[in-house]
Structure 1
Amino acid sequence: MINFRYHLVSIAAIFLALAAGVALGSGPLDNAKNILGDSKSTAAPVDQSDLAGFESAYAKKTGTSLIAGKLKGESVAIFTLPGARPNQVRGVKSAMRSGGATVTGEVSLTSKLLDSASRQFAEGVTQQAAKGVQGVATTGDSYLQVGSALGRAYFAKKTTKVDASASTISAAFAEGKLISVAAKPTQLASIAVIVAGPNPADGNQGQGDIVAQIASGFDTQAMGTVLAGPSASSQDSGFLQVLRASDAASKVSTIDVSDSAAGQLITVLVAAREIDNNAGSFGTSRSADGSMPN
């Protein structure tokens, strides 16, 4: 079977061919038309939305066989950050299902939670809601503890039913407007997938640091944790750039191409790798471990 890496190269080749066609249209061939008197002839502009649509359709058509069954028997809870694009969130969820996973629910981390001015409030909610709950971190960075408690509400090492402790913690965070639950889960998921937007609000790197700690907290409860974002998120103090530069990078995987259909599919492979405790950085040339897992 022709592998997916070949297909990605094929897509690039097609784009180059299209680009070359545009260049020729305004180069020597265009000059020849001018000589023949067709001076008003111009090359038609390339519709970037058409190219994006082609890439999306091609990736989904050829890539689904690559990810089929990779997450069979696993479950995923999707968390979104402020600024995450709804279409990218939908794409990641769809890819997880195509990989065989059950998507247990969708939760948003609010701007209030990611505001350092709310640190003490978040700490208070965590301490009250998770008091006496086994397995929740009680040492380390306060946002790691927040992530561990919130993770206890949505994740477990294997898929299991939501228990009383999980419900109590989730309700407390929702009541405090630290999270917003779009789809309430009926079971605890084994894998955490966090979908980011391009950059923290107002370029606030502090939000990136908070997310890195929360993601590390999730990882204390889940089998694996992945932070996915668009290419812009791995530069200019974006969420992925900050996490990759932190200690969290040794536990939490990242992929910075969630703004492409191919990237959404590759997120499945990254999540599958996380099950075996193999964290990595994938996507663009800014990713230390290459475009995709081997």
Structure 2
Amino acid sequence: MIDFRYHLVSIVAIFLALTVGIVLGTTMLQDPLLNTLQTETSQLRDQSDELREEKDVADRLSAGADEMAAAYAEDMLTDQLTGTRVVVMEAPGVPEELRDGVVARIEQAGGVVTGRLSFTDKYIDPGQSSFIRELTGQLAEDAEPPRGSAHERAGAELARAVIRSEEELEESSESEEGSEEDGGEEADAGAVLAGFAEAGLLTVQGEPSGKADIGLVLAPAEPFTTATASEPEQDDATPPGNTAFLALANALDAEAGGAVLVGTTTSIEPGGLLAQAREEQAGFTTVDTAGTTTGDVVTTLALAITTEGRSGHYGIGEDADGFLPDPLPQPNEPTRPEDPGDNLQDEDAE
């Protein structure tokens, strides 16, 4: 007959066995486990040190490349954009130093920045699409309204407002009468830009109305988010900002026969504006290294090849054609005032 003493002894035996097992297990496994953890920690520390050293080397190489680019920028860029007028389009979130660096190199190459359009967050808000579509139709007035989505229409109208047409170029070079006609068309273009500005969609710096030969679009420092006022961020969705500014770049490309979209290396990260442009095999030119001395020089060379009727994708991204254009663009003939001595020589020849 099994009594209480039997149960008590059994329970004590079970707990004693568990205790002995725990003690033996921890004693036998302690050293191998600690050794394994110490080895893995040491390996991770070594890898971290190696990566840090590699990053330091890469940073020094990058700094050296910037120094070399700055030293030879004058030789590389002289007269590359002489006689070329550039309008700059800034997405929301463009760093001031990036914009100023690119503008400085354009001017060093002999180009003229006619003005800048700085877009607001309102322009890329999907909730404003109907408003943008209606506004674009009103500002088009007698002209046939552009076709497509709201931002495709807006981009086409803005491109038409800032880019000089072939007819305008011919008229402005033929006679003073052509200049007067340009003034009227410039006023219409100014009204379009003013309309978008008054609606809070952009701000205007300088006098870009109908004066540019090519458009330069600056991507934001960080990729646009997919979140909207009514929807949370979605992993697989296309950021509304990408849709808006790719439409703008395509419109500038169609109107001017070439356009350039530039950004920092963050713009080629997943969801980045340049990453999507290259994925869609955009016909306009892209540069993903802007914001550095070297990248700003490459941006200027990219503008120069665009004036030659070429295009490409440049920088360090996997889809880039190369780090910089190949072959390099040919400098434009520098313009100079008429030398009075030329007239004297003509008179002597007569």
Q: Could you tell me which amino acid in structure 1 is paired with residue 314 of structure 2? A: F
> Which of 214, 230, 253 is residue 264 of structure 2 equivalent to?
230
1:20-99 matches, within 5 Å, as 55-99=65-109
The 1-side partners of 2:91 and 2:216 are apart by 11
Asked whether the 8 Å contact 1:198–1:238 carries over to 2, the reply is no
2:253 matched to 1:206? no
Secondary structure of 1:106's counterpart equals strand
The 1-side partners of 2:247 and 2:203 are apart by 19
2:309 matched to 1:254? no
Q: Hey, what does 1:192 align to over in structure 2?
A: 215
The 2-side partners of 1:185 and 1:141 are apart by 25
Q: Could you tell me which amino acid in structure 2 is paired with residue 69 of structure 1? A: D
Secondary structure of 1:180's counterpart equals strand
Task: Determine what percentage of the aligned residue pairs are the same residue.
Answer: 25
- When normalised by structure 2's length, the TM-score is 0.64
Change (3 A) 1:209 1:185: closer
The 2-side partners of 1:282 and 1:58 are apart by 19
The 1-side partners of 2:85 and 2:140 are apart by 23
Q: Hey, what does 2:320 align to over in structure 1?
A: 288
2:108 matched to 1:105? no
* Residue 82 (structure 1) shift: 1.0
Question: How many corresponding residue pairs?
Answer: 249
Q: Hey, what does 1:181 align to over in structure 2?
A: 204
Asked whether the 8 Å contact 1:130–1:165 carries over to 2, the reply is no
Q: Could you tell me which amino acid in structure 2 is paired with residue 178 of structure 1? A: L
Asked whether the 8 Å contact 1:199–1:239 carries over to 2, the reply is no
* Residue 198 (structure 1) shift: 2.9
Change (3 A) 1:124 1:274: same
Secondary structure of 2:260's counterpart equals strand
Range with greater deviation from structure 2 (167-176 or 278-287):
278-287
The 1-side partners of 2:270 and 2:221 are apart by 9
Asked whether the 8 Å contact 2:147–2:153 carries over to 1, the reply is yes
Change (3 A) 1:186 1:114: closer
1:108-119 matches, within 5 Å, as 108-119=118-129
For structure 1, the 5+ residue unaligned runs are: 1-25, 28-42
2:281 matched to 1:244? no
- When normalised by structure 1's length, the TM-score is 0.76
Q: Could you tell me which amino acid in structure 2 is paired with residue 261 of structure 1? A: T
**After superposition, what is the alpha-carbon deviation per residue over 1:83-138, rounded to whole angstroms, capped at 9, x for unaligned?**
1111010010011111111111111111111111111111111111112237xx62
Asked whether the 8 Å contact 1:104–1:187 carries over to 2, the reply is no
Change (3 A) 1:73 1:132: same
The 2-side partners of 1:84 and 1:226 are apart by 15
For structure 2, the 5+ residue unaligned runs are: 1-48, 173-181, 228-238, 327-350
The 1-side partners of 2:209 and 2:59 are apart by 38
> Larger C-alpha radius of gyration, 1 or 2?
2
Asked whether the 8 Å contact 2:162–2:209 carries over to 1, the reply is no
